[in-house]
Chain A
Amino acid sequence: MTQIVLTLLLVALAAAGFCLGRHRAARLSGGRPSVLHSRPVYHGWFVALACGLPAISLWIATLVVGDWLVESAIVASLSQELQEASGPVLRRFLSDAETLAAGGTPTMEVTPALEAAADAFSRFRALEHWIGFGAALGAGLVASRVAFRRIDIPARTRQPVERVLLAVLLVAAAISVLTTAGIVFSVLFEAIRFFDKVPVPDFLFGLKWSPQIALREDQVGSSGAFGAVPLFAGTLLVTVIAMAVAGPVGLLSAIYLAEYADPRFRAVAKPMLEVLAGIPTVVYGFFAALIVAPALRSAGMGIGLDVASESALAAGLVMGIMIIPFVSSLTDDALAAVPAALRDASLGLGATRQETVTRVVLPAALPGIVAGFLLAVSRAVGETMIVVMAAGLAANLTANPLDTVTTVTVQIVTLLVGDQEFDSAKTLAAFALGLALFVMTLGLNVVALRVVHRYREKYD
């Protein structure tokens, strides 16, 4: 809480610097801003940044370094026994002491040692805050005083302000790269720790998936089995069913919209597809689990087939419905990119529309359509909620769509939802699966882009 208040105080100081700087520049110009090299606003920003940048960075630095110092000081004051305790125990003790210092309820019993630590926490923290704040305030005041003095008619304050702004823009652009790097490293790092416990070939080619770790050492199957083949097979099965629905339906819908429909019909049908695309996946999951799956089960009973209540078919069908708009809009784009001259020539030779579509337009649009299908597959592979809600947990290695299968995403969710200890192979397995998922979807994406680039016909 104090941190927030003190941070706001520093921001307020910078804002005051902005007003003062702008005011001084405006007064110097004597009512004619054009005599200034930089407009008054830039002088204001100049002072504000001169005040805020050093102050806030110093403040953050003291918070980071100070926290570390406070923690090591407290650890040093602890009893021998606790100091030698393992990492998690010490961590829990420290976080409990911190909670107690903040007035909360700690997770373990309040002991004198804990109280002493909490007491030390609150004292050191207060000290840290005031020293840090004092330093930040001093630096801000000195720097803004220097900046304020530099305000003059020929002073070139616009350039430094714009340089800071550009740096901010560059940092923002770098965040997207950092996100990718973050995904790769966080997933890769945990996956490597997983592969320390389970060898890569066992994971990639093992036929048995049962991640339950036994409570006792001597229990049967105590090591857990991490063979991911059943998960890949299940993902493949659900994806194939989904594409069997979405492929033809999406393709034909796009053909009708692009080749047959008049603009008024398009104006109705396009939004309908957009609505379908905008429905959250959790709604599709609900639909699959509570409506489609029971319906399929009773239909199967009617004709003497035994359909599992969490069949791959239900999940795949609904996933297919979800992907229809995706396929159809990408196909629509590909068809629209085929020049009208090709169509006109074909029709002019007497071909029917159907002949034009199947023999001229589709071959010309093929790279785009293939790329669209690949992107749709990548969507289906990474889709989570539908399969979590409608597909099962049993890792069966089967090609029967009426059976229960499980997918990569389902297992990631199952392994990570709920309480977890972060070092067990079970938790780390989720990251290994995440890595596999990331590599698969990225691969499909890259291949799709390649297909478009390499095989696209140029018609200009």
Chain B
Amino acid sequence: MTDPAPAMTSYHLSEKAGRRLRRRYARERGFKVLSLGALGLTALFLVILLGSVVLSGWSGFITTKMRLDVTYSESHVDAGDPSSGNIRMVVLDALRERFPDVSDRRGLRALLGIVSNRGFLDVGREVAGDPALVGRTVEFWLPVSSDIDMLNKGYIDRTAPEDRRRLDDRTIAWIDDLEASGDIATVFNWTFLTSGDSREPELAGIGGAVLGSFWVLLVTFLVSFPTGVAAAIYLEEFAPKRRWVDIIEVNINNLAAVPSIVFGLLGLAVFLNVMHLPRSAPVVGGLTLALMTLPTIIITTRASMKGIPPSIRDAALGIGASPVQVVSHHLLPLAMPRLLTGAIIGMAQALGETAPLLMIGMVAFVVDLPGGPADAATALPVQIFLWADSPERGFVEKTSAAIMVLLGFLVAMNGLAVYLRQRFEIRW
């Protein structure tokens, strides 16, 4: 016969104990939810960050064009010297023909303002290349100015009062008219991917910045990879285990934690002011970032050399290889996949780096595409920084679109690193 009474009075089974236990379990559940919530919050930040970039940036990849039938009349363009013709008048005539009811000066100027400056260049270039066009009519799809582009993408509030809007009612009516007749088209924005910077948002592109980043990374890789690997090999395989090797080691770890802007100061003081290398040039940016990625590369190289079993070393030494041959014939080839992975990750870090490049003057306004590492250039993150500062509405979408391109490059590089690691990883 069991009697529950004594059990109920025991310390562990009393009612008080039950309450205590429930409280402990509640606290446990609360803690678990709290820590999961922290992770969820992090995920939420990531989603908001990426989401807001994509939401404001996708429209940077498309642009608005308008169709215009342009007649190169002899009165404005001389067949003998077509490149010095008055193209503005040619375009103005075409616009007048399209909107015959506009005749006042202000209206005509506003009409010309629809077309982007690049449009005039396009029209002029066409006839300069083919003088036989004089006197004939050609159909053009011309880029429109940034305000019209913004209107077409829906960034301009049509319901706002006219004086608080960037476009007046008449211009909006013209655009609606063009739209109704199918003369407005939304197309992929190749200009954005291929051209250099510009003061006008509709003509600004990241081509120059991407090329600049390419030259910077090339210099960074060519300098930091061989140097870093050589330094790591020396420290790991040949350095006598003496005190100053420890000093180098501590030094490398500390160097990895130095803020990037301090490397920029170093680049400014040493490369520009002492060595007189050209300002704003990718070669200086590359050297500065190379010094910055050096610790990363040395650390990954040493880790991958440590990961190779000693038996390989012993076997090679045993059949008469010299220590240098052990490294060059066996250790280096075996470590290569991990070395490359580390180098790619280091390069991805260097690609996103902005502050040191500001220090060495890579913030210049550069319209031309850089043709080599000594030409003035900006880099992709610096271009983002510059555009983020621009007040025009048109640059907001360009900034976000440039961020999307930068993130795309980073994803591709890190993806390549992961692929290489999995494809070539050797398990001992």
Contacts and interface: CB of A to CB of B under 8 A. Distances in A.
Given A173-B231, A352-B28, A413-B358, A253 B39 contact: yes
A285 interface: yes
B248 A281 contact: no
A392 to B, nearest CB: 13
B355 A413 contact: yes
B385 interface: yes
Nearest to A251: B38
B263 A283 contact: no
Interface centre among A286, A352, A382 (most CB of B within 10 A): A286
Contacts of B45: 276, 321, 324
B407 A279 contact: yes
Nearest to A356: B28
Contacts, number: 240
Contacts of A389: 385, 388-389
A399 interface: no
B239 interface: yes
B428 to A, nearest CB: 22
Given A409-B259, A422-B273, A248 B381 contact: no
Per DSSP, are chain B's interface residues mostly helix, strand or loop, or mixed? helix
Contacts of B414: 278
B410 interface: yes
Interface in A346-397: 352-355, 357-358, 375, 378, 381-385, 388-389
Contacts of B298: 176
A278 B348 contact: yes
Contact of A357 (B31, B269, B396): B31
A73 interface: no
B234 A170 contact: yes
Contacts of A255: 35
A354 B354 contact: no
B238 interface: yes
Highest count of chain B CB atoms <10 Å: which of A252, A260, A273: A252
A110 interface: no
Q: Is the interface of A mostly helix, strand, loop or mixed?
A: helix
B27 interface: yes
B346 to A, nearest CB: 12
B392 to A, nearest CB: 13
Contact of B251 (A177, A278, A352): A177
Given A186-B269, A381-B259, A384-B355, A269 B39 contact: yes
A449 B256 CA distance: 13
A69 interface: no
Interface stretch (B46-54, B68-76, B142-150): B46-54
Interface residues of B, number: 83
B38 to A, nearest CB: 4
Contacts of B53: 283, 286-287
A124 interface: no
B231 A175 contact: yes
B84 interface: no
A421 B231 CA distance: 37
A176 B231 contact: yes
B39 A257 contact: yes
Contacts of A177: 247-248, 251
Nearest to A434: B265
Interface stretch (A160-168, A198-206, A208-216, A299-307): A160-168
A217 to B, nearest CB: 27
A389 B385 CA distance: 8
A78 B270 CA distance: 29
Contact of A281 (B43, B265, B274, B354): B354
A352 B24 contact: yes
Interface stretch (A13-21, A137-145, A146-154, A436-444): A436-444
Interface of B: 24-25, 27-28, 30-32, 34-39, 41-43, 45-46, 48-49, 52-53, 226-228, 230-231, 233-235, 238-239, 247-248, 251-255, 257-263, 265-266, 268-270, 273-274, 291, 294-295, 298, 322, 324, 348, 351-355, 358-359, 361, 363, 381-382, 384-385, 388-389, 396, 399-400, 403, 406-407, 410, 414
16 contacts: A169-B230, A172-B231, A179-B266, A250-B38, A251-B38, A256-B35, A260-B36, A278-B348, A282-B381, A283-B407, A291-B48, A325-B42, A328-B42, A441-B262, A445-B253, A446-B254
Interface of A: 158, 162, 165-166, 168-170, 172-173, 175-177, 179-180, 182-183, 186-187, 189-190, 248-253, 255-257, 260, 269, 272-273, 275-276, 278-287, 289-291, 321, 324-325, 328, 352-355, 357-358, 375, 378, 381-385, 388-389, 409, 412-413, 416-417, 422, 430-431, 434, 437-438, 441-442, 445-446, 449
